Amino acid sequence: MKKWVFLLVMLLPLGCEAIQQEPQAVNVEYSKAGDQVQEAAPQKKTQTKTQTIKVPKSQIYQGNLLLVNKQYPVSEEGVTADVVNLFQHKELAQGYVLLDKTIRLSQGVAQKFQTMVDAAAKEGVSRFMISSGYRDSQEQARLYKSMGADYALPAGYSEHNLGLSLDIGSTQTEMNRAPEGKWLQKNAWAYGFILRYPKDKTDITGIKYEPWHFRYVGLPHSAIMQEKNFTLEQYLDFLKEQKKVSATVEGKAYEVSYYPVSGNTSIPVPAGRSYELSGNNMDGVIVTLLP
């Protein structure tokens, strides 16, 4: 079986000096295939030149890691800018079925989903269907009015209002029994997706088990969450506590750091290294240094 290996390293918070030193840490190696967990040798201290980026407070409400629930609604700037109608973009809807012609989703997320279902098809799992994607506030309000609070959330308080979440079904049977559902629960993290509302975490998410509802957060976040059995709520709390986490996924090294933001904030990043920014929709931003 192909191995997916990543390292989780707890590090100290980043400083703001132009030259920084990495503290020693113990790497923990994890294999998706359930192989032996090994302790790696401590890393040597290195020096890294940094540059400073200016992060406005509005960044708190933008990005792939936004927490959306009954307490933290979607802001206007939180909606992804690349939402498209999948029926009108046939190139994004290959190898799976759309429930109807109105389904919309972030174009970038749709491309990631396409890659994922292509991989599943190679393993003989190919009866995927998208039954719901992005909903604007008017559509969410109509759904809430017709279905009620037991089955829907008010406009602005559903992840579907972001453009990053989708309800995935199977044309064979219910997702909790379908091969598609089982494949996703085992493999979705490798493509940046998470099962947003697990059966054993309803007390944390506040939402009943939904084996069909998946959310795109991207790598390495989905890998860390899979390894530590975290919901998005738990992961964001974990980042706030640890300040900095390093992860290596299939030999590619990432660094994830949390910074509190109350106004325009200066954040140091390694000079010349690519990075992604995401708010948490609460009180800060997450900087992800890419391979």
Residue 221 placed within a domain: no
193 with 234, same domain?
no
Identify whether the C-beta of residue 134 lies closer than 8 Å to the C-beta of residue 143: no
Q: Which two tokens stand for residue 270?
A: 């390694």
> What does the alpha-carbon distance between residue 288 and residue 275 come to, in Å, rounded to a whole number?
5
Catalytic residue (choose from 139, 210, 227, 250) = 210
Distance CA 158, CA 152 (A): 8
Amino acid making up residue 203: D
Instruction: Please give the Cα distance from 271 to 49 (Å, whole number).
Output: 6
Question: Do 38 and 77 lie in a common domain?
Answer: no
Return the CATH number at 35: 3.30.200
Same structural domain, 39 and 126:
no
- Interstrand relation of 104-106 and 265-270 (parallel, antiparallel or unpaired): unpaired
Residues 37 and 157 placed together within one structural domain of the fold: no
Residue at 232 is within a domain: yes
34 lies in the same domain as 82:
no
pLDDT at 266 over 50: yes
Structural domain harbouring 33: 5-58+227-289
169 and 264 in a common domain: no
Q: Which of 175, 193, 216 is the last residue of a domain?
A: 216
Place of tokens 């997706």: 193
Provide CB contacts within 8 A for 126, sequence distance 6+.
95, 117, 120
Q: Choose one of 216, 248, 268: the last residue of a domain.
A: 216
* Residue 63 domain flag: no
Instruction: State the CATH number of the domain containing residue 120.
Output: 3.30.1380.10
Final residue of a structural domain among 216, 246, 280: 216
Q: Which pTM value belongs to this model?
A: 0.84
pLDDT (tens digit, 9 = 90+) per residue, 9-33?
333 333 333 323 332 332 333 333 3
Q: What is the pLDDT of residues 162-174, one digit of tens each?
A: 999 999 999 999 9
Place of tokens 């294999």: 31
Q: Same structural domain for residues 131 and 202?
A: yes
Split into its structural domains, the chain has a count of 2
Residue 184 has pLDDT above 90, yes or no: yes
233 is catalytic: no
What CA–CA distance (Å, rounded) separates 229 from 198? 10
How many helices (H) and strands (E) in the chain? 6, 17
Let me know whether 103 and 195 are in one domain. yes
Within-domain flag for 67: no
Percent of the chain with pLDDT over 70: 84
